[in-house]
Amino acid sequence: MKKLLPIVLAAALALGAFMPMLAEATDPMAKYAETVKLTTAKSIGDSLQSFIDKKPDVLTDNIWFNDYRNLFNIDVAYSWTAPSAQYREKMNTQIAANDLPDFFQVDASQLKMLVEYGAAADLTDVFAKYASPFTNEMMEADMRVGLGQSTFGGKLMALPSVGGNRDGSVFWWIRYDWLEKLELKEPETFGEMLETLYAFTNNDPDGNGKDDTVGLGMVKEFITDTFGINALSEGLGAYITGWVGKDGAVEAGTIQPEVKKALETLAKLYADGVLDREFIVKDSSKVAEEVVSGKIGMFSGGHAQAFWPLQDAKNANLDSNWRAISIVSDNGEKPKTMLDGSASNFYAVNVDCEDPEAVVKLYNYYYAKDPALSPDFDFHYHGRLDADPESEITEYYNWAAIASWYPMQNLFIHRGVDSYFNDGDESALENYWIMDNINGNQKYMDGDTSYWSTFGWSGPSDYSGEGRIDYYDKNGMFIQNAYIGAATDSMTLYNVTLEQLRLETFTKIITGESSIDEFDNYIAQWKKLGGDTITQEVNDALK
């Protein structure tokens, strides 16, 4: 007995010491005994600002912040706020002055800067220990792409604000009413697409007897999805801004032979006046204006264009019928759109913050309450459907200090809307998000054209923005960009020059100032001016 006692005591002691740790490990959402104070910053959008006008203290007195205090004993305060349009600029000065709150939202290049300065805390262990099971589930649904984007040298340096990479899909927006008027069928091959573009230019699709339409609208900085050349080039398998696997290594998309083919086509379209001959002086708002005024028949874009500028286009002309159609290939194979990273914003934690795990708790809490899939989902945290946004406060999710989304959220909404309208699936109404969109779609179908954007976005067919993405998803039309990590050192050094070279060369080729042979010269130049070094770095990073 005498011999046993110390052992028992020691065991009890050890257990006692171990117990709290065990409890903490199993409950990442435990309440702090003492109040933890955190500071952060916020980007204020227009609607959030209108709520602040109605209730000045709404930023820190709301359903989310009250729960932070009551459930976790975490007191979050804002060091500063800035309008969304200027947040990035303001954050840049704050980073330069090294005057940063405990945690804050940054974009990819700012995050890289923070990591290099050593200003961001390493969250690897904290996240492993405190991320809730549902948060981990969401990361899996994202195929851990967002986490990968936040990882530097094997260390997790930020929490990704996951948006979902499928939403980066590019497709064509087309004036379907013009197509029908000219008695053409929806283009399914590259050749048919070209025919459609020519018809939109030459056959007076708006029927006003004037030669005032062009097939394809484009901006002066055209290597983009929106109003760019990507819908055309990705159809041909040219991924100008991406990285493609080739012979066991990764190569830059911009120097592939497919790009040459795309440029050749565009040069022809330009020469024939099918591509807007004035594109080199047009920015996005100018092109948007022409889309709205009915001068353009097709443009490259993504799901967001349903809201801008196509709602304006509907307002301006009720007869206009814009639809999203798939990109098309020229070789009978299935065209594929390239997917990038899933997060464009990240939550970095200040290296001086004493309670980084508290930030992970806030991250967990958003996932617990906002995604309608979550077992703890409660729509009160999201907003009120019956509220009049002009006079009442809603959109509560805007108030959370940290937000990250179910990566398939938009697709999920579309699928729900689709099954409600096409299969009569009433259960779709039980989901908060889907119900919101069903209501909007119903209003449009009942004749309220101000809801066209909802219809064009989540509407129950393949022709809405998310409907097209759903079609891509079901038909395996995605290809993942082979490199989505942060900019490498030589990218930071050379990308400005290389992008300049690319835009200049491509513009010259399209406008006919240089012949298509200039492309071979471009490849040599690109390699010499840093391209080879970048390719080497990217391949090393992927090993």
Partner 1 sequence: MAGIQESRRKPSGIRNTSRLADAGIIAAMSLAGLLCLLPIVNVLALSFSSSAAAAAGRVKLWPVDFSLESYKYALTKPQFLRSFAISVKRVGLGLAVNMACTVLAAYPLSKSSRELTGRGVYAWFFFFTMIFSGGLIPWYTVVKQTGIMNTLWGVILPGAVPAYHVIILLNFFRQLPRELGEAAVMDGAGEFYMMVRLYLPLSVPSLATLALFTAVGHWNSWFDGLVLMTSPDNYPLQTYLRNLIVVKNLQTMQTATQAELREMARISDRTLRASQIFIAALPVLALYPYLQKYFMKGLVMGSVKG
385 touches partner 1 (CB under 8 A)? no
CB-based contact 535:250 (threshold 8 Å): yes
Q: List the structure tokens of 239.
A: 């991924």
The window from 72-80, 187-195, 373-381, 502-510 that contacts partner 1 (CB under 8 A) reads 72-80
Q: How far is the CB of 80 from partner 1 (least distance, A)?
A: 4
Amino acid making up residue 492:
T
Looking at 52, 184, 479, 493, which residue binds partner 1 (CB under 8 A)?
52
Task: Give the nearer residue to partner 1 in terms of CB position, either 188 or 319.
Answer: 319
89 touches partner 1 (CB under 8 A)? yes
Nearest to 168 by CA among 138, 190, 146: 146
Looking at 10, 12, 85, 542, which residue binds partner 1 (CB under 8 A)?
85
In 3-state terms, the chain is what percent helix, strand and coil (to 5)? 50, 15, 35
86 touches partner 1 (CB under 8 A)? yes
Q: How far is the CB of 321 from partner 1 (least distance, A)?
A: 17
Q: How far is the CB of 293 from partner 1 (least distance, A)?
A: 4
Q: How far is the CB of 436 from partner 1 (least distance, A)?
A: 9
Task: Give the nearer residue to partner 1 in terms of CB position, either 77 or 184.
Answer: 77
102 touches partner 1 (CB under 8 A)? no
Nearest to 403 by CA among 160, 128, 236: 160
Task: Give the nearer residue to partner 1 in terms of CB position, either 344 or 495.
Answer: 344
224 touches partner 1 (CB under 8 A)? yes
Q: How far is the CB of 289 from partner 1 (least distance, A)?
A: 4
The window from 45-53, 204-212, 322-330, 482-490 that contacts partner 1 (CB under 8 A) reads 45-53
Across the beta sheet with 158-162, what order do the strands follow? 103-107, 343-349, 158-162
Class of residue 461 by CB neighbours under 10 A (exposed 0-12, middle 13-18, buried 19+): middle
In angstroms, the CA 149 to CA 143 distance is 12
Q: How far is the CB of 315 from partner 1 (least distance, A)?
A: 5
Residue 482's contacts (CB-CB under 8 Å, 6 or more residues apart) are: 242, 243, 244, 245, 250, 542
The window from 10-18, 92-100, 231-239, 528-536 that contacts partner 1 (CB under 8 A) reads 92-100
Amino acid making up residue 199:
A
Looking at 135, 311, 329, 481, which residue binds partner 1 (CB under 8 A)?
311
Class of residue 438 by CB neighbours under 10 A (exposed 0-12, middle 13-18, buried 19+): buried
Amino acid making up residue 494:
Y
Looking at 344, 439, 495, 539, which residue binds partner 1 (CB under 8 A)?
344
Q: Count residues near partner 1 (CB under 8 A).
A: 69
The window from 112-120, 151-159, 173-181, 307-315 that contacts partner 1 (CB under 8 A) reads 307-315
Residues 401-440 close enough to bind partner 1 by CB under 8 A: 405, 409-410, 413
Residues 234-293 close enough to bind partner 1 by CB under 8 A: 283-286, 288-290, 292-293
296 touches partner 1 (CB under 8 A)? no
Looking at 202, 315, 442, 525, which residue binds partner 1 (CB under 8 A)?
315
Looking at 255, 306, 360, 434, which residue binds partner 1 (CB under 8 A)?
306
Angle made by CA atoms 299, 309, 292, in degrees to the nearest 5: 80
Looking at 29, 30, 58, 82, which residue binds partner 1 (CB under 8 A)?
82
In angstroms, the CA 346 to CA 120 distance is 11
Q: How far is the CB of 475 from partner 1 (least distance, A)?
A: 20
Residue 447's contacts (CB-CB under 8 Å, 6 or more residues apart) are: none
CA dihedral 357, 39, 139, 409 (to 10 degrees): 150
Q: How far is the CB of 440 from partner 1 (least distance, A)?
A: 10
CB-based contact 269:200 (threshold 8 Å): no
212 touches partner 1 (CB under 8 A)? no
Per-residue H/E/C for 279-331: HHHCCHHHHHHHHHCCCEEEEEECHHHHCCCHHHHHHHCCCCCEEEECCCCCC
386 touches partner 1 (CB under 8 A)? no
CB-based contact 50:83 (threshold 8 Å): no
Task: Give the nearer residue to partner 1 in terms of CB position, either 393 or 523.
Answer: 393
In angstroms, the CA 194 to CA 298 distance is 11
Q: Which residues bind partner 1 (CB under 8 A)?
A: 44-47, 49, 52-53, 56, 78-86, 89-90, 93, 96-97, 99, 107, 163-164, 167-169, 219, 224-228, 283-286, 288-290, 292-294, 302-304, 306-309, 311-312, 315-316, 342-344, 395, 397-398, 405, 409-410, 413, 453, 457-458
